[in-house]
Chains A and B, each alone.
Chain A
């Protein structure tokens, strides 16, 4: 049923080879799944959707006046990663987060990498999220990025590449955990026979990562999760993680700072807070330091942070590393600090602020993917080969006017994966992978991560705001 009439076409397919035979690491799944008939599959599919809706595993759609909540569409066919491939990814991701943390320490202290001419100072200092105020500030345990979500894609040969790093507050991990729960309920038998590594240690690992950050002298730290509030698109994830970790979820208005210590307002008065897993952007954290109009933040929080009385994860100013221009330099950054070749390559990238690159970009606009350096969620992006002439021409003056803010990449035809499509049965759809890396006393990466899938035929955009869905990701024991 699954692979009847299934064609991988000219793309790299996760499940089948060019000759349409099933890849080894999918064989056990395909054998077992073959016993599920269409009717049963339909019933399970509906049950899962209904369960997600009932549990409120939804995201809020911005700009929708009805306040509509949607479920993040979930595809029941899992993406499977063999053990040796995962080991390779793990090594690559660990290398990357290590280098990112060394880089962030450096740009906020000695700035050796700039002085040595490896990364031009202009790019770092003009990065939108570079926080001048934190130069020479010692962050707790010298860790900048504690939680990182790195987006990986595979090209037409199946080579894994890094598309971007998310070093501010990456979301999606709750779907990793919930997708797994849904799959276990739907296909317990298949699960057992395939041998899949569990993911449920994530919350414990995350809590340990937070506790490790406790200010000096605090042995039993109170950790809280700071959310922008119930109307944020990731609110479900915030409550989910807080609940899993057994910590309080707080909004800015629940916190108060007195004599540079942070407290939460409780029915018994004020209680001290030591570590804040914040899911609020830098800009909104403290209206007395950053955006004055922020009502999500806590006046005085930054002062308490500076005094070392409260720790924040992630630290402030990590967004420098998310800048797509800085991304361009990551292979050199890895080489510079670790004296290693990058295990996971970048996607070839052109910088519009370099004259030769700009010329190339402007001449090949309709063949390239152009991205704004500091946007995410699939916004501020031009997919040249798929765009109309007008759309392409709209980007030309934008790039000319602000070259620092644009990069371009060749269009990578992401790998595809068999996916259930309402109209056509099982068809190939493009996927990416976002593993979640925790960097504390040690580095832990929950096996797999979030596989996002572009549900629209031919689309390469996997973001939930733009018609993306997700799959469970199975990393095999052997």
Chain B
């Protein structure tokens, strides 16, 4: 497979996943506010600012808007074309990458990406948004589900598939860490808070819902929602498909499928890093993580996920580009003869 094609498939997949995650975070948080009666500006800002921080866009955001509230944050993350992580930009990037590999993906996929791209840029998108943001987010998430389903049911399990999976799981793991980090200001720097008040419980429920983890949580842990168990589920669960451990596990098998190297060994940096990260997640307890401090731990996780991604790129995508151009020189010499 062409390296450029692998690159496009990887990013297309990441951007589809990203749009889905951003839609979920915003949807859940808009709904959450309906549960609070009186909120002054300060509280609102305290609610919305972490969402801006979570994607690392704080500086950019405050250049465009004076304060973080429901209107500005949603605008920034939905329709703002200047924000590269907004829904409209993510979909445009997914589509741009899809266009580059139009010959590699199925017509069904292309049509769906194209449809949602045209929709979010249309007047109708704003009409839907004005009448019901929830419906708008539903549309985005449904499209994302559609695309995931189409990838699953129409793409052959060859190299291209592995790059699609790698993009999806790196993005998903990264977003899970960022969603989990949303409430870090309510936590002590180290250790687990003993008492959880009702507002906190609601906020942690929102974290779960942002990861579509609410139902899974109740099955496993019941109705009491607190930071320890939420983190346990979202970081260390071997079963829940959006947990970091699960995603890294999938990522690790994708890398092994690409190289043909069995688990427990490695043939390149990407496998080494993902294998190490996976064993650490497998052999960690949530208590250890809180002892160390959740926020710092999550920061570190994000860096390490990036490292796996970078290694993947240097092996499969950039490596042939490092080779020399001896021919070019030789030929230039011929030209002057």
Interface residues of A (CB under 8 A from B): 53-56, 230, 235-236, 239-240, 242-243, 248-251, 253-254, 256-260, 264-270, 288-289, 299-300, 303
Contacts and interface: CB of A to CB of B under 8 A. Distances in A.
Interface of B: 1-6, 96, 99-100, 102-103, 107, 110-111, 114-115, 118, 159, 258, 316-317, 319-321, 323, 325-328, 331-332, 334-335
B95 to A, nearest CB: 9
B328 A254 contact: no
B183 to A, nearest CB: 40
B331 A303 contact: yes
Nearest to B325: A299
Contacts of A268: 1
Contact of A303 (B102, B317, B334): B334
A210 to B, nearest CB: 16
Contact of A254 (B4, B111, B114, B159): B4
Contact of B103 (A239, A259, A267): A239
A288 B335 contact: yes
Contact of A248 (B2, B6, B100, B316): B2
Contacts of A230: 96, 99-100
Given A56-B99, A230-B96, A288-B332, A266 B3 contact: yes
A-B pairs, top 8 by smallest CB distance, nearest first, are: A239-B102, A265-B320, A243-B103, A300-B327, A267-B316, A299-B328, A242-B103, A257-B327
A258 B327 contact: yes
B327 A259 contact: yes
25 contacts: A53-B114, A53-B118, A54-B114, A55-B114, A56-B110, A56-B114, A230-B96, A242-B103, A248-B2, A256-B320, A256-B323, A258-B323, A260-B327, A265-B2, A265-B3, A266-B1, A266-B3, A267-B6, A267-B316, A267-B317, A269-B319, A288-B332, A288-B335, A289-B331, A289-B335
Contacts of A257: 327-328
A258 B326 CA distance: 7
B4 A251 contact: yes
A267 B99 contact: no
- Interface centre among B6, B258, B328, B335, by most chain A C-beta atoms within 10 angstroms, is B328
Given A267-B2, A299-B325, 15 more contacts: A53-B118, A56-B111, A239-B99, A248-B2, A248-B5, A254-B2, A259-B327, A260-B327, A265-B2, A265-B321, A266-B320, A267-B316, A289-B335, A299-B327, A300-B328
Given A54-B115, A265-B321, A303-B334, A253 B328 contact: no
A258 B118 CA distance: 43
Contacts of A256: 320, 323, 325
Nearest to A241: B103
B117 to A, nearest CB: 9
**SS of B interface (majority):** helix
A257 B118 CA distance: 40
Nearest to B118: A53
Contacts of A299: 325, 327-328, 331
B99 A254 contact: no
Given A230-B100, A239-B103, A266 B2 contact: yes
Contacts of B102: 56, 236, 239-240, 243, 249
Contacts of B323: 256, 258, 270
A121 B130 CA distance: 70
- Interface centre among B3, B110, B321, B327, by most chain A C-beta atoms within 10 angstroms, is B327
B314 to A, nearest CB: 12
Nearest to B324: A258
A248 B323 CA distance: 22
Contacts of B2: 248, 250, 254, 264-267
A243 B5 CA distance: 14
A207 to B, nearest CB: 14
Contacts of B96: 230
A432 B118 CA distance: 32
A251 B5 CA distance: 10
Contacts of B334: 303
B159 A267 contact: yes
A270 B320 contact: yes
A61 B17 CA distance: 30
A141 B240 CA distance: 61
Nearest to A248: B2
A300 B4 contact: no
A203 to B, nearest CB: 12
A99 B99 CA distance: 39
A235 B107 contact: no
Nearest to A229: B100
A336 to B, nearest CB: 35
B107 A55 contact: yes
Contacts of A264: 2
Nearest to A246: B103
Contacts of A55: 107, 110-111, 114
Nearest to A267: B316
A266 B6 CA distance: 9
A251 B334 CA distance: 26
Contacts of A269: 319-320
Contacts of B258: 267
A257 B334 CA distance: 15
Contacts of B118: 53-54
A235 B1 contact: no
Contacts of A54: 111, 114-115, 118
A300 to B, nearest CB: 4
Nearest to A268: B1
Contacts of A235: 99
A235 B3 CA distance: 19
A256 B326 CA distance: 11
B165 to A, nearest CB: 14
A258 B5 CA distance: 21
Nearest to B97: A230
A246 B316 CA distance: 23
A260 to B, nearest CB: 7
- Interface centre among A236, A242, A266, by most chain B C-beta atoms within 10 angstroms, is A266
Nearest to A242: B103
A270 B327 CA distance: 15
A316 to B, nearest CB: 16
B232 to A, nearest CB: 37
B88 to A, nearest CB: 14
A259 B325 CA distance: 10
A55 to B, nearest CB: 6
A233 to B, nearest CB: 13
Contacts of A248: 2, 5, 103
A274 to B, nearest CB: 16
A71 to B, nearest CB: 11
Contacts of B6: 267
Contacts of B115: 54
A223 to B, nearest CB: 13
B154 to A, nearest CB: 14
Given A55-B114, A56-B110, A243-B102, A267 B331 contact: no
